Structure formats: structure tokens, C-alpha cells
Amino acid sequence: MNPPVNRSLIINRVFLARLLVFVLLFSLTACGRKQPINQIFLMPAPDVYDTGAIDPFTDFDPIQSIPYEGMLYATDRKPAEEGDEKNVYLNERGFLLRLGVGKIKLGDDSMTWEEAREISLLKNRSDKYPMKITAVEETGILAESYSNFIPPEVKGPELQQPGEEFAAKINEKLAKSKRKDIFIYVHGYKVVFENPLLVATELWHFLGYDGVFIAYSWPSTPKTLAYFSDLETTTLSAYNLRLLLEYLARDTDAENIHIIGYSAGTRLVINALNQLALIYRDEDKETFRKYLRIGHVILAGSDFDRQLFGAYIDEGILNVSKNFTIYLSEMDKALGMSKWVFNRDRLGQTWDESKMTESIAEWLWGTDEITFIDVTDAEKSTTGNGHAYFRQSPWVSSDILSTLMYDLTPEERTLQRTPEWPIWKFPPDYITTLAERLAKENPALAPLMEKKTE
């Protein structure tokens, strides 16, 4: 007679085996990697810059022309304790939304601006281009983020002053900019406070430091096993991001507020926008655009439940912004692991044609409010674990920056899709055709393009 089967023991062993595999694999596919806290090296230059179709820079150091000389930030991290010289903000929830500026240093100390500018635009850059945060200056707490659970004595007498000062910084910079737009970058899982400020600076660098960039630094934890707790934190931080969006629309002169969300950070973006959709659910798209002015929403490597996003579409999330651009990848190993853990398709994964119903395909063909773009064939999109392609692929970064700089449609950016499939893709000659299209936006740069092709 066989001994009785201990089902609970088997289940526990299976669970532990899956957990062990998860830990081992996810350590290879997490969003963040160990690096100096206050420094990164500039991402590869978008390929379109090498053609001469875009030259965003002036002849003088642009940081010196920024009134606040750095990168604006908003964070709901907990401030470090007095005497903690290594950290400004901790990897813990701080609940309140704090505003400030991180002072930025571009390039090596020995570089002139002209040398730094030239190196940063090289397609094959031999020299590393460091970007550093040299200081952090907090403006104060946004008054709207105080809740009923905050003791009155903590609030202080000048509740509105930090928000007014922060808005004044934004408006002063907008007044000096060609594009009266705000760009917000929301980072992924497993990074410290400084990382989004530096990545936002990279993106802003290739926008020529025009408009205003804000890094939203939510309290992610630089530990692999913090993944699940971080995902819960994104739900709380989405509330504060929503408050920030309403404040910027109300108190600044921005004509558009664009949002770039990455990985787990797309959860903040999507949930914040869905909150707005529910709060103002009786308003039409024109009213949202008039009062909230949310423009392009760009989601890269989105670790969000695809079906849940579909439910949010039914609740009106597409009314909140001008449009959504969602990048997809077949080779994103981090999202592959996330799908394995949750047993649900991620928003940033490519669609299996067998899973897309005719009604969904027909709907995608008929809307310009949401665009899905497959990056699998884009140059260097599979570098590393294939998750950080928005920085590592010079084609994807070219596409993102062309969208933000010139408000071009996917077709105008020379992306393609077949008559049978409503997903945009990168053609083999993407950079050449994009450069030709951008030359029409920049007639003065046409001679530079001809010189580069000689």
C-alpha cells in the first residue's frame, strides 16, 4: 500500500521552487542596476541626430540659461534623517509630495561646452559622457498633498508658498522656451531617488533643454525582492502624481503636459490618469484638453495588466490625454518574467495575433487616440534584457523625441503597418526616411544633412 500523499507539502515545494527561480531570473531582468548614486553616463545619441536632421543645441552651455540650473523634481519619498550624508531621500514612503531642483553637471570637468556637445551627439561615442547631480534643493511640500491624517502643527503657516515658488520656476523657464510644454518622466522599479533626475536630464538634453522637464521620483526600493511591495507603492504614488498634474494645469503656463512612463512607473501614470477620468467622468475630451492640457502619454516597457488597461479604456482614460503611445517588445525579458509571475499579459508585450479579436483590431484601426508600436525590429532594442530600449535603442529614442519635439503622427514619423495588422513597426530604412521627414520641419538643416551624406 502506498503512503498517503501530503498535498500541502507538494504545493509548498512547488511554490518554493517557483520562488527560487523567480529570484534567480528576476535578478537578471530587474529595471535598475548598481551604479553610482549621483551619476550616470549619457545614453546613446538618437540616430536621427547623426543625420543632421535635428540640432537642438545652442552655442553656449544650456544649463547656465536655466533659471534654476538643474532638473526639477517631485517626490513622495521620505526625507533622509539629519546627519545622513549619503542620501537626500530614502527608499521609503514619505506620503507628502515634495518639490525641488537637483543641480546638474554635464560632461567631464575638463570639457568645454562645445566639446561636450559634440561628444554627446556622436553615433559611436568612444568617450563616456558623465551626468552628475551636485546638489539637491527642496522647495517644500505641495499643499494639496496634506491629508486629514497629517497633524496641523506639521503643516506650518505658509502652506501655499512652496507650490507658488515651484510654479514660478516653471513659468520663468517656459517664458524663455520655444515649446511651452512640460515633460514628466516617471521611472521604473528598483532605483534610488537620483536616478530619475539623471534619466530625465538625458531626455531633456536631446530636446535641447527646451520647455520644462520634471522628474517624478516615487519611493521604489533598490532590492530585487521589493518588487511586490513596490507595485503596491505605485498605487499610492499614483494619487500624488494625479495631484501634481492638477496643480501644474492650474498654476503654470504650460500649453501641454507630456508624460513618459517606464516599466513599473507606467502603473503610476495609468492609475493617475484613470483617477482623473473617474473624477471628471462627465466631461468630454475637449474639456480635458482645455483644463488639464495633458498631451502625449508615452509608455515604454509597461508592466501593467493588459486586460485592466482595457477596462480603464471603458472608464474613459483615453479622454484624459491627447493620445497614448505604447511601445511593445517581443524580446523584453523583464516583462516575460512578470507575465510568468502574474499569469497575465503585460501591456508592453507584443500581441499574439491569435489573441487579438476582430473587434479589438477593428477598433485599433479606427482610432488615433492610442498607438501601439512594436520595437522588436528596432536597432539595439534587445540590448541587455531588452527592457530599457527607450534609452538603449537609438531608433526608439529617435521616435520618442520626434513625437515630443514635432508632434508627428506615426505615419509622419515613417513607421509602417500592414493592411492585416494594426500595430506599427520600424521599417529597415526608418532613420533615413525619418531624417528626410524632419528636414521638412527644419529647412535650415538640409545642407547639414547633405554634407553628412557626401
40-79 pLDDT, tens per residue?
A: 888 888 888 876 666 666 666 777 779 998 999 999 999 9
Is the per-residue pLDDT at 277 higher than 90? Answer: yes
The predicted-structure confidence for 413-451, as pLDDT tens digits, reads as follows 999 998 889 999 999 999 999 988 888 876 655 544 454
Q: Summarize the confidence of residues 317-337 as an average pLDDT.
A: 96
Q: Summarize the confidence of residues 122-131 as an average pLDDT.
A: 73
- Sequence-distant (6+) residues with CB within 8 A of 143 are 159, 160, 162, 163
Q: Which of 17-31, 61-75, 194-208 has the lowest mean pLDDT?
A: 17-31
Is the per-residue pLDDT at 25 higher than 60? Answer: no
Is the per-residue pLDDT at 215 higher than 50? Answer: yes
Q: Give the mean pLDDT of the chain.
A: 86
| Torsion angles phi and psi, residue 204, rounded to 5 | -65, -35
Position 127 scores a pLDDT of: 67
Position 32 scores a pLDDT of: 47
Position 128 scores a pLDDT of: 76
Highest mean pLDDT among 20-34, 78-92, 198-212: 198-212
Q: Summarize the confidence of residues 200-221 as an average pLDDT.
A: 94
Sorting pLDDT into bands at 50, 70 and 90, what band is 82? confident
- On whether the CB atoms of residues 201 and 104 are closer than 8 A, the answer is yes
Q: Summarize the confidence of residues 201-209 as an average pLDDT.
A: 90
Distance between CA atoms of residues 119 and 266, nearest Å? 31
Is the per-residue pLDDT at 39 higher than 50? Answer: yes
Domains and CATH numbers, the chain: 45-453 (3.40.50.1820)
3-state secondary structure 204-242: HHCCCCCCEEEEEECCCCCCHHHHHHHHHHHHHHHHHHH
Is the per-residue pLDDT at 129 higher than 90? Answer: no
Position 255 scores a pLDDT of: 97
Sorting pLDDT into bands at 50, 70 and 90, what band is 111? low
Q: Summarize the confidence of residues 215-241 as an average pLDDT.
A: 93
Name the grid cell of 78: 521620505
Give the count of beta carbons closer than 10 Å to the beta carbon of residue 19: 12
- Amino acid (1-letter code) at residue 131: M
Question: At CA 208, angle to CA 204 and CA 211, rounded to 5?
Answer: 65
- On whether the CB atoms of residues 200 and 214 are closer than 8 A, the answer is yes
Q: Summarize the confidence of residues 265-272 as an average pLDDT.
A: 98
Is the per-residue pLDDT at 31 higher than 60? Answer: no
Give the count of beta carbons closer than 10 Å to the beta carbon of residue 262: 28
Per-position DSSP letters for 249-296, written without gaps between them: HHHS--SEEEEEEETTHHHHHHHHHHHHHHHTTTS-HHHHHHHT-EEE
Name the grid cell of 36: 553610482
Buried b (16+ CB within 10 A) or exposed e, 215-251: bbbbbbbbebebbeebbebbeebbbbbbbbbbbbbeb
Q: Give the percent of the chain with pLDDT over 90.
A: 64
- On whether the CB atoms of residues 216 and 196 are closer than 8 A, the answer is yes
Distance between CA atoms of residues 100 and 193, nearest Å? 12
Position 402 scores a pLDDT of: 92
Position 14 scores a pLDDT of: 52
- How buried is residue 309: exposed, middle or buried, by Cβ count under 10 Å (0-12/13-18/19+)? buried
Using only C-alpha atoms, what is the Rg of the chain? 22
